[in-house]
Structure 1
Amino acid sequence: MSERTHEHAPTIQDAESAKPRRSVAPRTIRGRVVAGLLLLIPIMVTAVIVRYIYGIALSAGARLLNISTAALNWAFDLKLADRRFDPNNATWYESLIAVVMTLVVLYVLGWLGTNAVGKRVIEFFEGLVERIPMVETLYVAVKRIVQALSGANKPGGEDQTVVLIDFPTDTMKALAFMTNVITDKNTGQRYATVFVPTTPNPTSGYMELVPIERITMTDLTMEAALSMVLSGGASAPSNISLVRGLPSRPNTVLTPPILRTK
């Protein structure tokens, strides 16, 4: 009795895999030039931003170095070199010292802001600044915007500040940062104040008042949301969790503490 060989019947997937694959690589000179440009753009933009930040750190460090030298000469009569530090004509080690000094000062400020004594010192100086007319309004506004965008001073376990709203039409959604919750004392209607950033510059945008029930909560972090804005949505995660309206739990405090005033 002869054995029958059962051959595998060809499927659609087999037929598709048998087709010659077309290369997605650009073949024309123009296509390769564009491909090379697309590879260079992220590197160039990153280099420009890093150079800009380095320039700010170097300039701030130069002033700190000059002030420190003058203070040491005056306090201890050390008679150090009177030559002022010039970032444009500095050697590499002088530039390195200036940048390191800037980082050290930022570290110290961050350390002061996280302990009780440092917080009192910072609050004292903030109180002096807030007593200056016009400066107080600008300082408080900028401080609140920075805190809202960075997610600083959030309550424990509460990180739901990235939301979606119906903007600019009811059939479209826009990414926004919820910054506060206000209540109409006549009707009791609660509204969320949200900031809708623009792409690719998140420092500009729109401030909207949205009814609480029309807010869509997300599980996005501040870092992920800012990355989405900066990249025009290219870095958006594949899946997110959306919940219409704010959580209806008893004893839920809706006003973000980052915006509370004394």
Structure 2
Amino acid sequence: MRKYFITGLLILVPIAITAWVLNAVISTMDQSLLILPERWQPHNIVGFDIPGLGTILTIAIVFVTGLLANNLIGNYFVRLWERLLHRIPVVSSLYGSVKQVSDTLFSSSGNAFRKAVLIPYPHADSYTIAFLTGTPGGDVKNHLLGDFVSVYVPTTPNPTSGFFLMMERSKVVELDMSVDAALKYIVSMGVVAPEHSPTKI
């Protein structure tokens, strides 16, 4: 009975967690329907709420925004809007910081979180997986002697929190492993190991 119970848990727990996460995401996105006028709300048109309609609306808004921003006129209005935000004292610093991070993470030309590496952490005799995020800059670079890189060390099992480190490049080993595979390895606490790639000679 214990064997069958554990087998059932292994099957149902991932399904339940996946369904819970999807439900939370869809419910949050459905809140975007509140931007519609009251008479256009689904429950006023068809008499009941339509789950997932807000998700479709959110995706459509993001797509149309990107489409409009990629032409000359749209790009002009985006720059105008950003200049306006930069004139507001508190908003300017907050918006500027968030935009810089998002540009770094989501830019197709950037290198952030595109390489999994192996580093000695938290001491020289133990190792963990981290992600290459770039190289030190600003005045920090002036105080580092040698060739350094910036890495992000995620925590387990929640990779959204972690530690930012600057390490000598010679101590950082690039892994022949995709970012997705590395994240699965971290979240599963080493249980879901990536497929072994034979060393090329």
TM-score range, shorter chain: 0.7 to 0.9
Determine the structure 2 residue equivalent to 1:179: 133
Matched, 1:223 2:180: yes
Q: 1:136 to 1:241 in 2, by over 3 A?
A: farther
Residue 210 of structure 1 deviates from its aligned partner by: 0.7
Q: 1:153 to 1:65 in 2, by over 3 A?
A: same
Distance, in Å, in 1 between the alignment partners of 2:68 and 2:189 is 36
Distance, in Å, in 2 between the alignment partners of 1:126 and 1:241 is 49
Question: What is the TM-score when the length of structure 1 is the normalising length?
Answer: 0.60
Larger radius of gyration: 1
Say if 2:114 and 2:179, in contact at 8 Å, map to a contact too. Answer: no
| Identical-pair percentage | 27
Matched, 1:50 2:22: yes
**Could you list the per-position Cα deviations for residues 155-199 of structure 1 after superposition, in whole angstroms to 9, with x for gaps in the alignment?**
59x985322221112122222222221264367523212111112
Determine the structure 2 residue equivalent to 1:254: none
SS of the residue corresponding to residue 142 of structure 2 reads coil
Distance, in Å, in 1 between the alignment partners of 2:181 and 2:125 is 24
- The number of residues matched between the two structures is 195
**One-letter amino acid of the structure 1 residue matched with residue 64 of structure 2:** V
- Superposed structure 1 runs of 4+ greater than 6 Å apart: none
Distance, in Å, in 1 between the alignment partners of 2:21 and 2:181 is 19
RMSD after superposition? 3.5
Residue 207 of structure 1 deviates from its aligned partner by: 0.8
Matched, 1:189 2:160: no
**One-letter amino acid of the structure 1 residue matched with residue 125 of structure 2:** T
Say if 1:191 and 1:209, in contact at 8 Å, map to a contact too. Answer: yes
Gaps of 5+ in 1: 1-28, 70-80, 243-262
Question: What is the TM-score when the length of structure 2 is the normalising length?
Answer: 0.75
Listed as ranges, the matches of 1:128-167 within 5 Å are: 128-146=84-102, 152-154=107-109, 161-167=115-121
**Could you list the per-position Cα deviations for residues 14-48 of structure 1 after superposition, in whole angstroms to 9, with x for gaps in the alignment?**
xxxxxxxxxxxxxxx22322221221110011011
Distance, in Å, in 2 between the alignment partners of 1:170 and 1:85 is 59
